[in-house]
Structure 1
Amino acid sequence: MQLYQVDSVKRNSLAQQVMDQIVSLLISGKLKPGDKLPSEVLLMEQLDVSRPVVREALSSLETLEVIHRKPREGTFISEKIGSGPFRAMLAIYINNLPAVIEARMTLELGLVTIAAEKITDEELEELAETIENIRRNDEDYGKYDKQFHRIIAYSAKNPIVEGMIESLLIAHEKTDSLIKYREPELTIQYHTAIYEALKKRDSIEAYRKMYDHLKYVRDKILNGQEDL
């Protein structure tokens, strides 16, 4: 199987370039949801890269839910891409940290303002539970942090942006994995401030408190990268 017309990949950032090639074909329409990709051997030959590079690229695309693998059948473009093209763009820029963080901020700041108008009492209770769970699990609270942001995103109840929310959470995981040290008390303070604004149905205050939180995360991550 020929992977359409592609350029052989040069030997810098190889796995990322393989990802870019596949995603570019998807964005151009040459690959579509449900299409089967060539085998690893054919990808190696067509892109002039090693098997580990191909596997790394495919593993990253699978994590981003751009592709999925079926045992004994092969690798396919995910059907989810049709309703969530944001995943494809995220795949291209996943290693551009400032861009990923800004995309996360853009989505979350918009969603939290709408959430302030639509969030239910039950969802507010769920938010409060996540804050309490962070307090109880201060050494490993990443899943409760992610849950907090997921509840807010889905409480906006907007079907058009729902396709972006899971990609938003993937961006959350990417940025979260780069945090070198945890400060649970600060996380609790930020989350509580957001929760109180949502409880008051105050969109402007919710925006401000979410911005304070995400700006802190952005600065912490990017400053940490400078120290590497």
Structure 2
Amino acid sequence: MKSIKRETMSKQVVDRIIGLLKSRALNPGDKLPSELELCEMLFVSRPVLREALSSLETMGIIRRKTREGTYFAEKIGSKPYSIMLALSAGDIPAIMEARMALELGLVTIAAEKITSEQLRTLEQLLNEMSENKEGYAPLDKEFHRVIAYSANNPILEGNIDPLLSMFDETLSQIALQDRSHESTLREHQAIYDALAKRDPVAAHASMYAHLHHVRMKVMNSL
């Protein structure tokens, strides 16, 4: 029989610890047993366990507090999705499609959940974009981010920031044929108007029109 590699054992420990969440033996925010207890439960050495815990911490699944112990994260963070995106770096069509798939769903939900305060934030961002014909990209990104978070879905929240950052990084590496400031502002205004009316269908259509134009601009520049 072939000996089990330490790396394989570490991965198995990762799966077993994640299994504690899946089975609801422990819940998000709960404290994990001590290292000694985990070693006894999983029949592994302390070096193997620590390797597994380091992997889980890198992925944002656990957090370690000095003198307090190790805890499961209370909500899904962006690290697991960031790692997955890093493996797709350079695949521009896939990144664009992923952004469309995520944001079209988010804006539809946002039309039902967005608050008056979040609408005021979007309106302020539109005004600032209108006054900044050059260098309005950060405002554009924040506009989309506010919409994503207004969907108020903790499972999806961890996805939007790394996806927008990856998209921005991708755009910085290609020479884009820039569209006019006026058309970009007009498309964002249409999205805002649909959200203000709490109209999911119109919000989806407006977001699709905007992202489709962005996708065509990107693909034509390749």
Q: Give the TM-score range, shorter chain.
A: 0.5 to 0.7
Residues 181 and 108 of structure 1: is their aligned pair in 2 closer, same or farther, counting only changes over 3 Å? Answer: same
Query: Which has the higher mean CA deviation after the structures are superposed, 82-91 or 145-154?
Result: 82-91
- The separation in 2 between residues aligned to 1:190 and 1:134, in whole angstroms, is 12
- The separation in 2 between residues aligned to 1:31 and 1:223, in whole angstroms, is 43
1:32-62 CA-partner distances (Å, limit 9, x unpaired): 1346xxxxxxxxxxxxxxxxxxxxxxxxxxx
- Unpaired segments ≥5 residues, structure 1: 6-28, 36-64, 67-78
Paired position in structure 1 for 2:208: 211
- 1:104–1:171 contact (8 Å) kept in structure 2: no
Paired position in structure 2 for 1:130: 125
Q: Partner of 1:139: helix, strand, or coil? A: coil
Among 159, 162, 170, the residue aligned to 1:167: 162
- The separation in 2 between residues aligned to 1:121 and 1:220, in whole angstroms, is 33
Among 194, 217, 221, the residue aligned to 1:220: 217
Paired position in structure 2 for 1:142: 137
Output the TM-score relative to the length of structure 1.
0.63
Residues 133 and 224 of structure 1: is their aligned pair in 2 closer, same or farther, counting only changes over 3 Å? Answer: same
Residues 125 and 159 of structure 1: is their aligned pair in 2 closer, same or farther, counting only changes over 3 Å? Answer: same
Paired position in structure 2 for 1:19: none
- The separation in 2 between residues aligned to 1:171 and 1:146, in whole angstroms, is 12
1:63-92 CA-partner distances (Å, limit 9, x unpaired): xx99xxxxxxxxxxxx9xx74322121101
Letter in 1 for 2:187: Y
- 2:85–2:163 contact (8 Å) kept in structure 1: no
Measure how far apart 1:186 and its partner are: 0.9
Paired position in structure 1 for 2:90: 95
Residues 175 and 134 of structure 1: is their aligned pair in 2 closer, same or farther, counting only changes over 3 Å? Answer: farther
- 2:107–2:200 contact (8 Å) kept in structure 1: yes
> How does 1:64-143 map onto structure 2 within 5 Å?
83-84=77-78, 85-143=80-138
Residues 150 and 192 of structure 1: is their aligned pair in 2 closer, same or farther, counting only changes over 3 Å? Answer: same
Among 36, 52, 56, the residue aligned to 1:33: 56
Measure how far apart 1:112 and its partner are: 0.1
Letter in 2 for 1:170: S
- The separation in 2 between residues aligned to 1:171 and 1:220, in whole angstroms, is 17
Q: Does 1:187 align with 2:177?
A: no
Output the TM-score relative to the length of structure 2.
0.64
Q: Partner of 1:138: helix, strand, or coil? A: coil
Measure how far apart 1:167 and its partner are: 1.6
- Unpaired segments ≥5 residues, structure 2: 1-6, 9-51, 61-72
Q: How many percent identity over aligned positions?
A: 46
Paired position in structure 2 for 1:200: 197
Letter in 1 for 2:104: L
Letter in 1 for 2:195: L
Q: Partner of 1:33: helix, strand, or coil? A: helix
Measure how far apart 1:223 and its partner are: 0.6
Measure how far apart 1:119 and its partner are: 0.5
- 1:116–1:202 contact (8 Å) kept in structure 2: yes
1:160-188 CA-partner distances (Å, limit 9, x unpaired): 11111212221331354343425211110
- The separation in 2 between residues aligned to 1:174 and 1:125, in whole angstroms, is 28
Q: Partner of 2:55: helix, strand, or coil? A: coil
How many residues are paired up? 159
- 2:104–2:207 contact (8 Å) kept in structure 1: yes
- 1:127–1:151 contact (8 Å) kept in structure 2: yes
